[in-house]
């Protein structure tokens, strides 16, 4: 594999020389210190930096080009990649299978770890951050392209752009902690992936599923996705997704649904989630159908559910959710409200229909108008949704 032309002054010893001198399946434990990269690995090796080895690419290319199977990289600090998006300058570019990249610090690199047509790799317990530039021109923390059966687990990600999964399936993304980025996790044309127990906070978007079917999103914590495009979980023409037992808190929009499910014979199942303290709990782009929303808890949202254009969300299935603004009673003490929960669109429909009026969402003026129209409506309000069996207590909604 040809490395980029380097203008890197050889202040540090070459790490490439250690790799070239090793035999297939050797274990390399370099002496502590800083070494010059980039490095190309084309044979099976174990490289253990023991937390004492730095590889510095000198601002050109990727720090490590991994074009082999069965390589382990651990205990290294990989730093100072180039800044080329076209070349995907990274801490590690992976083009092989059955590799393990764990317990490394990857910093001041444009992209963190790039997997291209790579299968059965493990990316574990790494700490990844991008270059200190504007968020839109940073690279991605982990990027998967046509890559299958990989495990991206237990990584700590700070101030990168996105984690992206393109045309990839059967990957596990679990227990990662990502903050200070744009998309914590973004799927494009990727099916049959699992997203479990991640912590996504202070990113512009939590999880976005675009044309990506049959994904399981479970037990994640998503908070403070704010700003003009802030949302906890977003769907774009996506079908057959399970969104279960997630906490979605303090977001501009908790869940956003755009023409999803796209397959008319499929459903999306949103169950057991907490959607709380957000501007809008769930927003539908239009009056789509095919979503099943059961046993969720809606608490402290300014607007529980909205449909753009003032249409209805009642073509979806709503059952056994907890609504903190429910005004009914439970005379038989079975934990279910005696009458359905019904959400109507009153004066607050103004900001739903007129984009510029969204500035006044939650303002005292709209609250007064809303109160007056509820008190003495001039026209029949539109029903947004009806939940036949509203739960009386948030604790009654199952966690399993």
pLDDT tens by residue, 117-128? 999 999 999 999
Dig out the tokens for 161 from the structure: 């752009």
What does the pLDDT read at residue 11? 83
DSSP string of 294-331, one letter each residue: ES-EEES-SEEEEEGGG---TTSEEES-EETT-----T
Query: 359: which residues sit within 8 A by CB, 6+ positions away?
Result: none
For residues 164 and 210, give the distance between their C-alpha atoms in angstroms, rounded to a whole number. 11
Q: Is the pLDDT of residue 9 over 70?
A: no
Least confident of 265-269, 293-297, 312-316: 312-316
Q: Is the pLDDT of residue 281 over 90?
A: yes
- Read off the pLDDT band of 375 (50, 70, 90): low
The CATH classification number of 9-181 equals 2.160.20.10
Q: What are phi and psi of 394, to 5 degrees?
A: -65, -30
| Mean pLDDT, all residues of the chain | 90
Q: What are phi and psi of 358, to 5 degrees?
A: -60, -20
What does the pLDDT read at residue 349? 58
* 369 or 292, which is more confident: 292
What does the pLDDT read at residue 232? 97
pTM of the model: 0.88
Cα dihedral value 234, 235, 239, 243, nearest 10: 10
Q: Is the pLDDT of residue 382 over 80?
A: no
Give, as one character, the DSSP assignment of residue 74: E
Break the chain down into helix, strand, coil percent, rounded to 5: 10, 40, 50
pLDDT tens by residue, 135-170? 989 999 999 999 999 999 999 999 999 999 999 999
- Read off the pLDDT band of 28 (50, 70, 90): very high
- Read off the pLDDT band of 330 (50, 70, 90): confident
For residues 389 and 371, give the distance between their C-alpha atoms in angstroms, rounded to a whole number. 26
What does the pLDDT read at residue 229? 78
What does the pLDDT read at residue 400? 44
For residues 32 and 48, give the distance between their C-alpha atoms in angstroms, rounded to a whole number. 11
Give, as one character, the DSSP assignment of residue 356: G
For residues 127 and 266, give the distance between their C-alpha atoms in angstroms, rounded to a whole number. 38
365 three-class SS:
helix
Least confident of 47-51, 220-224, 311-315, 362-366: 362-366
Give, as one character, the DSSP assignment of residue 134: -
CA distance to 3, 143, 195, 257, 390, per residue, from 215 (Å): 37, 18, 8, 15, 28
Dig out the tokens for 9 from the structure: 């002054």
* 393 or 323, which is more confident: 323
Q: Is the pLDDT of residue 361 over 50?
A: yes
Q: Is the pLDDT of residue 193 over 90?
A: yes
Q: Is the pLDDT of residue 222 over 70?
A: yes
For residues 295 and 399, give the distance between their C-alpha atoms in angstroms, rounded to a whole number. 9
- Read off the pLDDT band of 393 (50, 70, 90): confident
Q: Which residues pair with 143 in a beta bridge?
A: 114, 164
Arithmetic mean of pLDDT, 224-236: 90
Least confident of 161-165, 177-181, 253-257, 332-336: 332-336
What does the pLDDT read at residue 344? 83
What does the pLDDT read at residue 4? 45
What does the pLDDT read at residue 231? 95
- Read off the pLDDT band of 7 (50, 70, 90): very low
What does the pLDDT read at residue 353? 58
DSSP string of 164-210, one letter each residue: EEES--S-EEES-EEESSSEEEEEES--S-EEES-EEES-SEEEEEE
């Amino acid at each position: 594999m040809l490395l980029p032309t380097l203008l890197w002054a050889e202040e540090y010893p070459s790490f490439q020389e250690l790799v070239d001198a090793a035999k297939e399946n050797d274990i390399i434990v370099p002496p502590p210190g800083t070494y010059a990269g980039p490095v190309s690995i084309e044979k099976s090796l174990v490289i253990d930096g023991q937390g004492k080895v730095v590889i510095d690419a000198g601002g050109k290319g990727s720090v490590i080009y991994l074009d082999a199977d069965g390589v382990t990289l651990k205990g290294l600090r990989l730093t100072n990649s180039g800044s080329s998006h076209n070349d995907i300058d990274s801490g590690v570019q992976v083009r092989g299978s059955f590799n393990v990249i764990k317990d490394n610090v990857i910093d001041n690199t444009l992209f963190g770890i790039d997997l291209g047509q790579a299968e059965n790799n493990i990316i574990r317990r790494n700490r990844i951050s991008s270059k200190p530039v504007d968020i839109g021109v940073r690279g991605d923390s982990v990027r998967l392209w046509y890559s299958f059966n990989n495990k991206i687990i237990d990584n700590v990600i700070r101030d990168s752009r996105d984690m992206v999964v393109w045309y990839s399936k059967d990957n596990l993304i679990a227990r990662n902690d990502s903050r200070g980025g744009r998309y914590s996790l973004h799927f494009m044309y990727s099916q049959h992936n699992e997203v479990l127990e991640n912590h996504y906070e202070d990113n512009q978007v939590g999880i976005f599923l675009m044309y990506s079917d049959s994904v399981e999103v479970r037990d994640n914590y998503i908070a403070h996705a704010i700003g003009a495009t802030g949302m906890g979980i977003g769907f774009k023409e996506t079908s057959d997704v399970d969104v279960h037992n997630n906490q979605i808190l303090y977001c501009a929009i908790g869940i956003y649904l755009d023409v999803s499910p796209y397959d008319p014979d499929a459903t999306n199942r949103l169950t057991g989630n907490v959607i709380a303290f957000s501007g809008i709990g769930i927003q539908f782009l239009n009056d789509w159908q095919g979503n099943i929303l059961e046993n969720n808890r809606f608490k402290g949202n300014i607007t529980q559910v909205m449909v753009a254009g003032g249409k209805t969300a009642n073509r979806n299935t709503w059952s056994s959710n907890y609504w903190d603004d429910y005004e009914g009673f439970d005379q038989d003490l079975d934990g279910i409200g005696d009458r359905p929960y019904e959400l109507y669109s009153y004066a607050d429909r103004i900001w739903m229909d007129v984009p510029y009026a969204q500035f006044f969402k939650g303002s005292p003026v709209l609250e007064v108008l809303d109160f007056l129209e509820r008190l003495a409506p001039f026209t029949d309000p539109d029903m947004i949704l009806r939940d036949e069996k509203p739960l009386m207590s948030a604790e009654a909604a199952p966690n399993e």
